[in-house]
Amino acid sequence: MLFDLRTGKRRRVVQVVFGTMAVLFGASFLFFGIGSEASGGLADLFGFGTNSQNTGNPEFDQEIEDAESAVEADPKDEKALLELAEVRYQAGQFELEADPETGQPVVTDEAKTNFEVALDAWEQYLDLKPKKLDAGTAAIMAQAYVQLGDAEGAADAQQIVAEDNPSGGTYGNLAFYLYASGDVEGGDEAAQLAVDNADPAQAEQIEKQLDALAKQAVKLQEAAEKQAKKADEQGSGAGAPIEDPFGSLGGETGGLGGAPPVPPPAP
């Protein structure tokens, strides 16, 4: 670990790092996939294929009402909690908007509320300690945590996915989330598992990608921590957004910020 998990500064640093990494390493999501058959590439992660006009969808209202009624009737109904988590996530995806200048996703207040309720249902489900955790919903919840900038939550959910379906893609994404959360040691372990479980034809390229990701993540974390410390000393709160300390991400790895290499087969 690079930082003290208990401090407010630590949480701010993780949010800055995760948000910046998600932009800088967007190509890695295309390369590694998003971890299960329940999801695809960036379009699924950010929901752009779902709601380009953001006109609302009354279908979700009825599905949400049905799921909430089922949970209210039996708070220990695992299936109902999973259904509520998934439909709230889908509703949140539908409420995302795209920044007209950058094309990056903007989490609206409506989307944020839906993601938070989805994750609350998911955590209630986990509290029930099911005999076998639902990896499909875990993959979706990992994305919900991503939307809210919670790298640690995303890593916890992705761990379930990777253990259920070990592959270069599932463990590659787990490494990404762990590095973003500041858990470099855990990220290294997941990166090694990504290589070990990758298709032999892809293993070397995945290893290079993850090595580059680890080094750059550490630099970004250190820069974010330094900026947060400076802002605290100056009494200016979280400070201005951190600038990209790397410039171009091209190089021998094939360029995490550029066109990704041929992706491995879907897990």
Give the chain's largest Cα–Cα span: 57
Rounded Cα gap, residues 171 and 183, in angstroms? 14
| Rg, Å, the chain Cα set | 19
Q: Helices 78-94 & 58-73, crossing angle to 10 degrees?
A: 160
Rounded Cα gap, residues 117 and 112, in angstroms? 9
pLDDT in tens, 20-50: 555 555 434 434 553 333 333 333 444 443 4
Give the model's pLDDT for residue 36: 37
- Torsion angle of C-alpha atoms 175, 178, 179, 180, degrees rounded to 10: 120
Rounded Cα gap, residues 168 and 232, in angstroms? 40
All domains of the chain in start order, with CATH: 1-35+168-267 (no CATH), 39-164 (1.25.40.10)
Note the pTM of the prediction, 2 decimals: 0.73
The answer to whether 144 and 86 are in contact (CB under 8 A) is no
pLDDT in tens, 180-219: 888 889 999 999 999 999 999 989 988 988 898 888 778 8
Q: How far is CA 100 from CA 20, 103, 105, 106, in A?
A: 18, 6, 10, 10
pLDDT in tens, 52-104: 344 456 678 999 999 999 999 999 999 999 999 999 999 999 999 988 887 77
